[in-house]
Amino acid sequence: MAITLNNGFKMPIIGLGVWRMEGKEIKDLILNAIKIGYRHFDCAADYKNEAEVGEALKEAFDSGLVKREDLFITTKLWNSDHGHVLEACKDSLKKLQLTYLDLYLVHFPVAVRHTGVGNTSSPLGDDGVLDIDTSVSLETTWHAMEDLVSSGLVRSIGISNYDIFLTRDCLAYSKIKPAVNQIETHPYFQRDSLVKFCQKHGICVTAHTPLGGAAANKEWFGSVSCLDDQVFKALAEKYKKTIAQIALRWGIQRNTVVIPKTSKLERLEENFQVFDFELSTEDMKIIGSIDRKYRTNQPAVFWGIDLYA
């Protein structure tokens, strides 16, 4: 099952996010995911594991497990490389051992002090606050992203963590419209207005953290997970599915792409088994009623400044 982007390319509606995965774990996970049926992998320069992902992809291609054209590979431009888009893209391609990307995203709508291509960091000033580079505009960054499409390095370009106003501005100054806006959205942080705005203007919404972050965000940010909600426990029992499957199915039925992360094989399989049932309109409304407008991913913990404030 896939969503057709505004440029005609198809994006699988479920993918595997590789944030916070390391070493041999990545290789085994990606190869197992491909065997299960995953064809979409969501990466980022800042995850600092593109080289390991590249090794896994090379093995998958060399062994005949899958062809390059069968996969949809996303990675992202980090904040410190906004003034070095071409170099950063080429660095990611080299690490991933690919000749083109299916999708390249601006990871966050902020440029910070450059620390060297591929050396993704979030430099702080003496005051402990993120060292934002005010000399590079998002418009300048976007036009450099457009050049990647023209050069054939990237098929689709998009944005990530953009709100309605920044998305609207990108639509106004772009020659190539963003194909995707990847945002945090889950039952406790539904963001209906942003989702509706993007979809109305032909921008596919990808839900990172579609399960509310679960253990990963609890550990880093002390977040509460929607998976503990009694509503999901009741629906899981009703549909004879796991709580995570219910949450992912809700995201899919909103016409959003979901990219859950897991390092466990059994959950990798479970997360992909979401196409053999459908939530009723009533149950979709019930999940819609539990929105807490609760963001679980809080980079301000590391940046000394809340960019969402």
CATH code, domain with 117: 3.20.20.100
**Range 218-223 average pLDDT:** 54
Distance CA 75, CA 252 (A): 21
Residue 125 belongs to some domain of the structure = yes
Residue 201 belongs to some domain of the structure = yes
**Range 165-172 average pLDDT:** 98
As annotated, the binding site for substrate includes: 107
Tell me which of 15-29, 120-134, 249-263 is least confident.
15-29
Residues 6+ apart with CB under 8 A from 268: 16, 29, 32, 33, 36, 38, 262
3-state secondary structure of 177: coil
Residue 46 belongs to some domain of the structure = yes
For residue range 239-249, list pLDDT tens digits in order.
999 999 999 99
pLDDT confidence of residue 256: 98
The parent domain of residue 193 ranges over 2-303
Distance CA 79, CA 130 (A): 11
Residue 308 belongs to some domain of the structure = no
Residues with a catalytic annotation lie at 47
Residue 31 belongs to some domain of the structure = yes
Residue 210 belongs to some domain of the structure = yes
As annotated, the binding site includes: 107
Distance CA 169, CA 301 (A): 28
Q: What is the pTM of this model?
A: 0.95
What is the total count of domains within the chain?
1
3-state secondary structure of 80: helix
End-to-end CA distance of the chain: 36
Distance CA 80, CA 121 (A): 7
Residue 309 belongs to some domain of the structure = no
